[in-house]
Amino acid sequence: MNKDLVRGNAIIGQSGGPTAVINQSLVGVIEGLRLGLHAAGIVDKIYGMRHGVKGLTKGDLIDLTTMHQDKLDLLALTPSAGLGSTRDKPDDAYCDRILEACKKHNVRYFFYIGGNDSSDTCRIVSEKAKASKYDMRCFHVPKTVDNDLMENDHTPGFPSAARFVAMACMADFLDNISLPGIKINVVMGRHAGFLTAASALARRRDREFDDVPMESSDGPQLIYCPEVAFDTEQFAADVEAIYSKKGRCHIVVSEGIQDKNHVPIGAKLIKNAQVDSHGNVQLSGSGALGDQLGDLLKEKLTPAGGKPPRVRADTFGYIQRCWPDASVIDRMEARRSGRFAAQLALHGEQDGSVAIVRTHSGSSAWLGSTQGEAYASDYKRVELSAIAAKTRHMPAEFLKGHNNVSRAFIEYCLPLVGELPGFARL
């Protein structure tokens, strides 16, 4: 036990878009505190903030100190943010109010589970506490289905969302070959294409043979990430090349695709699109992008005097981030990320963010091989400033051309999602 530990209370909040495993992290922090600082008599109360810092500043807290372990275990399996979340982006005055609220409740350990905006809030609050000589230790626990946090091999929430996207695309490709036509699926991801790229796990034929021609690949045959400038003419030509050979085409597009000037294609299409306090224009919760791309294809691919091709567009929407059948590895890692944050506090750290490190590649997941090594990960502390308000993008080696992902990406992603169903084709 570190002798510089300060006595007082702890508080935990959840922020940003919920995930299927963000409650695992919440329970992980609670368990870590109970077994450590609370057991040692350093931490007295363990509070939860209702709707993140919004509830904290209003005094809307819940006492989690003695919640029964049965309830914690069920809460951990419950998708979405059990404490409630917020999209508030605290400005300077707001952060002062956060600090005041912490002082009022004698909070000395502040845990915030969220993405890069949340870690930025954590960083500002930590600096304000230091500036006012109030000893409060601030820790960020990573969470985001977008997988766009720096320093992390991947982030809790992503593997489960990736699992949903892979399974949905698997099933939807089988639907597409059953009733052929052109099918567009729109996947979440404002700036980073990881979740869109995860759709490639739906392909089985690609896992067996390296050089399948694109039109003979299992779906999705075309994958468009926000990291590559999206050109509508090129898009129509890509689809036509496959459709003309197969009479069908299975496509996945990120909601965040941008033109060459980095203007998001989707944001322009949603009528009265809503803007959150971070300045993010609404991309989800609308089918506008898929519908518009479908209309474009109907227009471009209708033969002279002929009928337009059958085109359908689905937007996976919010269920991809909260689908209850989470990845098993994601559940474990989210829980352990929370526990690790509590351990950082126990070891006397003043602040920091938890990051996931991959220690074993998991190449045995590739093709279900018994060769290669099993997947394993560990946790490290990184500076809050290394995560805060920064965005990680798909590295170049994960992309293949302008409309596909590489084998390196599949090897990276496959161990995270857990076992995917096997399918027979006639």
Binding of a second copy by 271 (CB under 8 A): yes
Binding of a second copy by 172 (CB under 8 A): yes
Binding of a second copy by 311 (CB under 8 A): yes
Q: Catalytic site residue 146?
A: yes
Near a second copy by CB under 8 A: residue from 237, 278, 324, 419 = 324
Q: Give the shortest CB-121-to-a second copy separation in angstroms.
A: 16
For residues 280-319, b (16+ Cβ closer than 10 Å) or e, as one string? eebbbebebbbbbbbebbeebbeeeeeeebebbbebbeee
Binding of a second copy by 423 (CB under 8 A): yes
Binding of a second copy by 267 (CB under 8 A): no
46-75 footprint of a second copy as x/- string (CB under 8 A) = --x-------------x--------x--xx
Near a second copy by CB under 8 A: residue from 10, 61, 197, 313 = 313
Report phi then psi at 108, rounded to 5: -115, -10
Near a second copy by CB under 8 A: residue from 9, 24, 57, 85 = 85
Total residues contacting a second copy by CB under 8 A comes to: 68
Near a second copy by CB under 8 A: residue from 298, 300, 380, 390 = 298
Site for a second copy in 175-234 (CB under 8 A): 175, 177-179, 183
The one catalytic residue among 88, 117, 120, 146: 146
131 vs 426 by CB, closer to a second copy: 426
Near a second copy by CB under 8 A: residue from 66, 133, 209, 272 = 272
CA separation for the pair 76, 22 (Å, rounded): 8
Binding of a second copy by 77 (CB under 8 A): yes
Q: Look up residue 207 and give its two tokens.
A: 């896992």
Rg (CA), the chain: 23
Binding site for a second copy (CB under 8 A): 14, 17-18, 20, 48, 62, 71, 74-75, 77-87, 167-168, 170-172, 174-175, 177-179, 183, 270-272, 274, 282, 284-288, 290-291, 294-295, 298, 308, 310-319, 321-325, 421-426
The residues that are catalytic are 146
